Each structure stands twice: as structure tokens, then as C-alpha cells.
Amino acid sequence: MEELLANSPVTEPVLLILLSLAERPRHGYAILQDTQEITAGRVRLSTGTLYGALTRLLDDGWIERYESEDQSRGKQSYRLTAAGRRNLQAEVSRLKQLARVAGLRVARKET
Amino acid sequence: MLRLYRSLLFLYPHSYRCVYAGEMLSVLAEVDLEASRGNRWARIAWRAREVGGLLSGAFTEHARQLTGFYRTPVLFPRRSRMRSEFRFPKATGILMTLILVAVIMAIEKAKAISASLPPTSTPVGPIQPEHLSTVTSFLVILALALSAAAIGWLVVYALRRSGLQRLSDVRPGAAAGGNKPAA
């Protein structure tokens, strides 16, 4: 069961968090704002969802804590690890392939 | 509002709270500040989402500590996930309701017929085979067989509507991309 869950594609919130951290290290609130910006306001993560995902990503070694200037104000920043970036690239490739097939099929259906 | 968020954070496991509570509260304070700039309904929706997120997060963390692994399907909204589990089709629900209504109506009708009959001193025993002619027996058996066939066909139709037969087309490992660790 655990293996099955581990091999499943990442969920949308997790993907958005990874994409947000792919650019640069960010703290919790900055991640929330960035995910909202990436999706043009379509997705607005709650704090509970964000920290559930961050905890899991930390446990899996996809992200790590990052020392930043904001930390003194109770803000902890996070950044992608090498493994996290690799996995994000794999996920993006998977989505690209899926989008390519979807595009072809939709175009074929329309003609 | 922050007081409510703080009390909801107490629903999280102690170990989790020790690490993340301060940080989460700081984020919640910023989120609440942002929410307060919106109109009344936006504020309510925003805060309701935060409360829901905290409740769901607390439940998930307790579940994780109990079971030892993350239950992703419960954790997040599944906008980009495909579900392969069996979903009960609406047609089957309607069909089963109709069958139930028919059975109840038949029972009620039988009760009404029984009540309308004059009382007899000798109890009516089971129907003996000699009371039925060959033609009647044949018709009864035919009606039963047709009913069974109709019910069977309806069940198969309902299952086909659910997409269950498509499971036989699934080839394990056929999906592109391969396996990889995931969050």
C-alpha cells in the first residue's frame, strides 16, 4: 500500500508547492501567495494543507529547511533538494507527455 | 480569529505542534490580515477554508502517526488525480429503489387480498402441485425465468454503465513515465 502511494503522481497542491520552490527558497506565506499567482487565483491553498504537504515533502527529502533573514520573525524558509528537483522534472515530463497525447487526441476528435 | 486558529492548532499531535505551530500561526496571521481586506463574504469563505484546512490537517497528522504513512487521497483535493475505484452508478440506485418499491407494493397488495377474504375455519395450506395445471405451471416457470433474465440484464447493464468492464483493458505498467518516488 505504501509503495503504491509512493509511486502515484503528485497531487496538484504538492506540484504547485514544488514549482514555487523551484524558483527560489520561500517561506510559508510566500508559497501560498506564489501558488495563487501561478494558477491565476484558481487555487488558494489553506495553511493546513500547505503544512501537511510541507511536512511530507520534508520527510521524503524533497525539500529542506533553509536559513534566511526572515527566520528571525518566526518565518521558516524551505528550498528544493537535488532529489526534489529531479522528481519535479520527472513529474513535469510526465505531464508534458500527457498533455501532448491529450492534445493529439482532442485534435483528432475535432477533425 | 487568531484565537480560534490557535485553539484548532491544539488538535494537532503534540510533537507536530512543537515543530510547526509557531510557524503556522505566523502564516495564519498574515493570511487573516489579507482576508480582512476583502468583503464580508470573501472573508467568511477565506476563514472557513482555513478552519477546514486545519481540521483536515490535524486529522491527517493523527492518522499518519497512528498508521505510519500518509494517506494522500484523504489529504488533498484531487483535481489532478484519476480515481480507479468502483463508483456506484446512479442508474443502479434508481433501479434498486424501484425494485424495493415493487416488493413493498406486492406485500401490501397481498395483505389487502388476505384481509378481503372471508375468514375460514380451516387454515389454507400450501398450494399442492395437483391444483396447478400443466399449462399454468409452465406459464409460472416461464414468468419466473423471464423475470430472472430481466434482473440479470439490468444488473449487467448497470455494471457496464459504471465502466467496470473497462478494467479488463488495463495493462499494468503500460502507462508512460514509469515509477518514481512521489509526495
HEC assignment per residue over B97-118: HHHHHHHHHHHHHHHHHHHHCC
Q: How far apart are CA B54 and CA B50, in angstroms?
A: 6
**What integer best gives the mean pLDDT of chain B?**
74
In this predicted model, what pLDDT tens digit does every residue of B67-93 receive, in sequence order?
766 554 434 444 444 444 445 566 677
Q: Does A29 touch chain B (CB under 8 A)?
A: yes
Characterize the bridge pairing of strands A77-80 and A63-66: antiparallel
The pTM of this model reads 0.57
**CB neighbours of A71 closer than 8 A, spacing ≥ 6?**
A77
With DSSP H G I counted as helix, E B as strand and the rest as coil, what are the percentages for chain A, rounded to 5?
Answer: 70, 10, 25
In this predicted model, what pLDDT tens digit does every residue of B89-120 receive, in sequence order?
666 777 788 888 888 888 888 888 888 877 76
Q: How far apart are CA B23 and CA A71, in angstroms?
A: 10
Q: ipTM exceeding 0.90?
A: no
Comparing CB atoms, the residue among A49, A53, A98 nearest residue B183 is A53
Please state, as a whole number, how many other Cβ atoms lie within 10 Å of the Cβ of residue B55.
Answer: 14
Question: What's the whole-number mean pLDDT along residues A24-39?
Answer: 92
Q: How far apart are CA B44 and CA B30, in angstroms?
A: 16
In this predicted model, what pLDDT tens digit does every residue of A44-93 receive, in sequence order?
899 999 999 999 899 889 999 888 765 556 678 999 999 999 999 999 99
Cross-chain residue pair A51–B20, CB shorter than 8 Å: yes
Q: Chain B partners of A27 at a C-beta cutoff of 8 Å?
A: 27
Q: How far apart are CA B48 and CA B50, in angstroms?
A: 5
Domain holding A79: CATH number?
1.10.10.10
Burial class (CB in 10 A: 0-12, 13-18, 19+), A60: middle
Q: State the amino acid at position B140 in one-letter form.
A: V
- pLDDT computed for residue B117 by the predictor: 79
pLDDT at B183 over 50: no
Q: How many CB pairs under 8 A join A and B?
A: 128
Burial class (CB in 10 A: 0-12, 13-18, 19+), B54: buried
Q: Which domain holds residue A56?
A: 2-110
Give the H/E segment covering residue A5: helix A2-6
**What integer best gives the mean pLDDT of chain A?**
85
Of A1 and A43, more confident: A43
In this predicted model, what pLDDT tens digit does every residue of B167-182 receive, in sequence order?
555 555 444 444 444 4
Domain count, chain A: 1
Half-sphere exposure of B122 (CA within 13 A, CB side): 3
Q: Does B6 touch chain A (CB under 8 A)?
A: no
Cross-chain residue pair A55–B22, CB shorter than 8 Å: no
Q: A74 to chain B nearest CA, in Å?
A: 6
A94 to A6, A9, A86, B51, B152: CA distances (angstroms):
16, 9, 12, 34, 42
Backbone angles phi, psi at B125, to 5 degrees: -85, -175
